[in-house]
Chains A and B, each alone.
Chain A
Amino acid sequence: DADVTQTPRNRITKTGKRIMLECSQTKGHDRMYWYRQDPGLGLQLIYYSFDVKDINKGEISDGYSVSRQAQAKFSLSLESAIPNQTALYFCATSDPTGGETQYFGPGTRLLVL
């Protein structure tokens, strides 16, 4: 079984709709992250969380919100989706005692029409 799972894997939605992307992990890591990938731009950090009570904005948090429901779960919401949020979204986890390495989920491909 995968250590970091993301649901859904693919999603098509319309402009203005609210959607939620979910991430679960079985690695027991405290730290979780949300990234988006656009063609030619690599991965950009949206939000990150060091534990359930600690949530921080990343480079590109505008238009997004997150919820850390438990150590193992970190959700990303688009309150009112817009077409330029069409991208590949990745969740990642890390262990503060394990150095800088992050472990990624398989990604969610989102298309906003």
Chain B
Amino acid sequence: DQQVKQNSPSLSVQEGRISILNCDYTNSMFDYFLWYKKYPAEGPTFLISISSIKDKNEDGRFTVFLNKSAKHLSLHIVPSQPGDSAVYFCAASVAGYGNKLVFGAGTILRVKS
């Protein structure tokens, strides 16, 4: 069973607008969440993370929101830029369990100029 789900395989957004990528999880033991970005022919690169003791974390244009009661997190990119076009993976872990990450299937983001 998929413990981390990204239900939107793709998303298309106009440059300058907000991109919202969503992620749902089923395992209530998860207490740390990460977003990775992946360009073609490259490995995933860490983007932003959030601990379950927080409900929001910001880093420049990127903000992650966590709703523990709904087991849902989202990544907001504002404003979106063409260079943000990539595959975005949501990942979750149980802190202290050896950094084992469980990944979602990814969402392809296309930012149109």
CA distance A94 to B41 in the complex (A): 21
- Interfacial residues of chain B within 45-71, with CB under 8 A of chain A in the complex: 45-46, 49
**Binding site secondary structure of chain A:** strand
Interface residues of A, count at CB 8 A? 27
Q: If A31-B98, A42-B89, A94-B99 touch, does A100 touch B44 (CB 8 Å cutoff)?
A: no
- Residue on B nearest A107 in the bound complex, by CB: B43
B46 touches A102 (CB 8 A): yes
A-B contact count (CB 8 A): 61
Contacts A96-B99, A100-B32, A100-B95 given: A40-B43 contact, CB under 8 Å?
A: no
Q: How far is the CB of A37 from chain B (nearest CB, A)?
A: 8
Q: How far is the CB of A88 from chain B (nearest CB, A)?
A: 9
Chain A residues within 8 Å of B89, by CB: 42-43
Any B CB within 8 A of the CB of A45:
yes
Known pairs A42-B103, A42-B104, A45-B101; A104 contacts B34 (CB<8 A): no
Contact B44 A104, beta carbon cutoff 8 Å: yes
Q: Is the CB of B46 within 8 A of A101?
A: yes
Cβ B41 vs Cβ A43 within 8 A: no
Task: Please report the total number of B residues contacting A with Cβ < 8 Å.
Answer: 25
> Are B42's CB and A106's CB within 8 A?
yes
Q: Which residues of A contact B93 (CB under 8 A)?
A: 100
The CA of A50 and the CA of B42, in the complex, are separated in Å by 24
B100 CB-CB contact with A under 8 Å:
yes
Q: Does B4 contact A (CB under 8 A)?
A: yes
B interface with A by C-beta (< 8 Å): 4, 6, 9, 32, 34, 36, 41-46, 49, 89, 91, 93, 95, 98-101, 103-106
* Other A-B pairs beyond A42-B105, A50-B98, A101-B46, 9, CB < 8 Å: A31-B98, A41-B105, A42-B89, A44-B103, A100-B93, A100-B99, A102-B46, A104-B45, A107-B43
